[in-house]
Amino acid sequence: MGALINPSILSADFANLERDLAAIRGADYAHVDVMDNHFVPNLTLGLPVVERLVQVSPVPVDAHLMIEDPDRWAPAFAEAGAASVTFHAEAASAPVRLARELRRHGARAGLALRPATPVEPFLDLLGEIDMLLVMTVEPGFGGQSFIEGTLPKIRRARAAIDASGLDVWVQVDGGVSRSTIERIADAGATVFVAGSAVYGADDVAAEIDVLRSMADGAHRH
Ligand SMILES: O=C(CO)[C@@H](O)[C@H](O)COP(=O)(O)O
Ligand SMILES: [Co+2]
Q: From the CB of 190, is ligand 1 less than 6 Å away? A: no
- On whether 216 is known to bind a ligand per the annotation, the reply is no
Alpha-carbon distance 160 to 32, whole Å? 27
- Looking at residue 94, its amino acid is A
What digits encode the pLDDT tens for the residues 159-194?
999 999 999 999 999 999 999 999 999 999 999 999
Ligand 1 close to Cβ of residue 62 (< 6 A): no
Encode the chain (221 residues) as per-residue pLDDT tens digits.
899 999 999 999 999 999 999 999 999 999 999 999 999 999 999 999 999 999 999 999 999 999 999 999 999 999 999 999 999 999 999 999 999 999 999 999 999 999 999 999 999 999 999 999 999 999 999 999 999 999 999 999 999 999 999 999 999 999 999 999 999 999 999 999 999 999 999 999 999 999 999 999 997 76
- Residue 143 maps to which CATH number? 3.20.20.70
Phi, psi for 106 (deg, rounded to 5): 90, 5
11 is in an annotated binding site: no
Domain membership of residue 60 as a residue range: 4-217
For ligand 1, atom 8: residue with the closest CA: 142
Residue of 88, 134, 144 to mutate, ligand 1, most atoms within 8 A of C-beta: 144
Separation of CA 135 and ligand 1 centre (Å): 9
Q: What is the interface pTM, i.e. ipTM, of the complex?
A: 0.99
Q: Is the CB of 64 under 6 A from ligand 1?
A: yes
All residues at 6 or more sequence positions from 36 whose CB lies less than 8 Å from its CB, including other chains: 43, 46, 66, 67, 68
Is the minimum distance from the CB of 195 to ligand 1 under 6 angstroms? yes
The pTM for the full model equals: 0.98
Distance of alpha carbon 62 from alpha carbon 99, whole angstroms: 15
Counting the structural domains of the chain, the total is 1
Q: Are strands 84-88 and 169-173 parallel, antiparallel or unpaired?
A: unpaired
How much distance in Å is there from the Cα of 191 to the middle of ligand 2? 12
